[in-house]
Amino acid sequence: MSGGLRTVLLLMEGAESGAGPFGIPMTIWQLINLVGFFAVLLYFVARPITNVFRQRQLDIAKRLAEAERQRAEAARLEVEIHERLAKLDKELEEIRVGGVADGESARAEQLEQAGRQAEAVANSAREQIARHLESAKEDLRALAAELTTKSAAELLSAEINDEDRRRLFEDSVSRLQSGAR
């Protein structure tokens, strides 16, 4: 005999000593009560608990999938940020190189402009010096002419006598008379 059947027979023998409701031995009645209790417990407690655990498992799976999605998004953003940083570094280097080149160009242009201005100032100074020199030459010529005239007048007045003066006077008068006719 098997162990389960032997247990049922023993229970039946002991049950004959005490009868429960409906003439069912007390041990069997207790066994039915225990099975019923477990069935009710299973129906009202185990199923909701199983549902809660199943829902919890589904929530965890959803969260895990969301975490994986966020991790992938974070990795994509990290790559994008690194690319942007590399691009910014490259642009900054280009701007720096361009700035240096622009600075050198501006410096060369300013030097060239300063050279042109210096040349213009020098030309202006030369022109002004030439004008002053020409003016000084004119002043010297006028002074030399005046001095020559004075010297000639003094020489003539010292060397011309009264008779020469009278003869010059008569020549001048005769010229005037001949010119008036």
Q: Could you report the per-residue pLDDT of 62-83, keeping only the tens digit for each?
A: 999 999 999 999 999 999 999 9
Q: Is 101 among the domain residues? A: yes
Whether the per-residue pLDDT at 21 is higher than 80: the answer is no
Decide if 147 is inside a domain.
Answer: yes
What's the pTM? 0.37
pLDDT of residue 180: 67
**Structural domains of the chain, count:** 1
| 176 within some domain | no
In a domain, 28, yes or no: yes
89-111 in b/e burial notation, b at 16+ Cβ within 10 A? eeeeeeeeeeeeeeeeeeeeeee
Mean pLDDT lowest among 3-12, 45-54, 118-127, 132-141? 3-12
Q: Report the distance separating Cα 23 and Cα 80, nearest Å.
A: 82
Residue 59 lies in a domain: yes
Stretch 118-132: mean pLDDT:
89
Domain contains 175: no
Average pLDDT on 88-111 reads 89
Phi, psi dihedrals of residue 163, rounded to the nearest 5°: -70, -40
Q: Going by C-beta distance under 8 Å and a sequence separation of 6 or more, which residues neighbour residue 32?
A: 24
Residue 168 in domain: no
> Which residue range is the domain that position 85 belongs to?
3-158
Calculate mean pLDDT across residues 120-136. Answer: 88
In the predicted model, what is the mean pLDDT of the chain?
84
pLDDT bin (cut points 50, 70, 90) of residue 15 is very low
Output helix, strand, coil percentages for the chain, rounded to the nearest 5. 95, 0, 5
- The answer to whether position 170 is within a domain reads no
Binned at pLDDT 50, 70 and 90, residue 6 comes out as low
Lowest pLDDT segment from 35-39, 57-61, 155-159, 161-165 = 155-159
